[in-house]
Amino acid sequence: MPRGSFDRTERRARTRAQLLSAAARVYAHRGFDGATLDEVAEEAGFTKGAVYDHFGSKENLLFALLDEHLSAQIAEQIALFDPGKAAAERPRPGADRWMKELEEDPDAFRLFVEAWLHGQRDEELRSRVAAGMEAWRATSRAFGRERGSDLDAEISEALLDQVANVMLGLGIGLGMVELADPDSVSPRLLGAMFVLLLGALESSEEARELLEAAAAARR
């Protein structure tokens, strides 16, 4: 590739990253409805035309932000998932890290909550939020399959789906409680609940049957 082309590509990627960083700050301060692309451009030190060139609209900029945060969080969870730990303990480091990040910098989660709320009235945004949640579930299912491989046992997809839903719901729910009432949730609670859930499922056939029955009832 000619050097000029490489330089333009690198410069474009850098501009995009600066716009995303600025958008995260503006959306956190003003909210999605209150924020404007003019404010994002000013915060980043570019023109409004640069924002349109990279993202096209305020909605697309929100999608890009959500995708960026999601990719980083999933990569972090995978890195923290330790196969050397006892099965039920494996998700604890990732859960503890999630709660710590929520306490230190809640803006990314606030952005997700805003996107979820707007998605109740906007089908495209709802589908994008749902796709992000499915990415989280897919990560949890992959961890479950890995555990099944450890045990040389087949774990049904129905059970994996329900465990992924419960873990996702616990993470989102405790995150929302923490945002509404800071310091009310122990930073270790989410990890402890994951340990309890997975420990019960590994030791109790009845627990596994209950979740699989819940999946069958939905169908």
In this prediction, residues 157-169 reach a mean pLDDT of 92
SS3 per-residue string spanning 87-152? HHHCCHHHHHHHHHHHHHCCHHHHHHHHHHHHHCCCHHHHHHHHHHHHHHHHHHHHHHHHHHHHHC
Contact 103, 187 (CB under 8 A): yes
Taken in order 41, 44, 45, 51, is the CA torsion positive or negative? Answer: negative
DSSP 30: H
pLDDT computed for residue 212 by the predictor? 86
Q: Dihedral through CA 55, CA 79, CA 178, CA 86, nearest 10?
A: 150
**C-alpha neighbours within 13 Å on the C-beta side of residue 165:** 11
Contact 112, 119 (CB under 8 A): no
Rg (the chain; Cα; Å): 20
Q: In the predicted model, is pLDDT for residue 50 greater than 80?
A: yes
What is the reported pTM?
A: 0.84
C-alpha span between 194 and 175 (Å, rounded): 15
Choice between 149 and 52, residue whose per-residue pLDDT is larger: 52
Greatest extent of the chain over all pairs of C-alpha atoms, in Å:
64
pLDDT computed for residue 1 by the predictor? 47
**pLDDT tens per residue across span 71-110:** 988 888 888 877 677 767 788 898 999 999 999 988 889 8
Domains of the chain, CATH where assigned: 1-56 (1.10.10.60), 59-218 (1.10.357.10)
Task: Give whole-number Cα distances, 119 to 55, 57, 113, 122, 169, in Å.
Answer: 19, 16, 10, 5, 17
Q: In the predicted model, is pLDDT for residue 218 greater than 70?
A: no
Q: In the predicted model, is pLDDT for residue 209 greater than 90?
A: no
Q: Which long-range contacts (CB under 8 A, 24 or more apart) does 33-41 make?
A: 37/61
C-alpha span between 190 and 9 (Å, rounded): 41
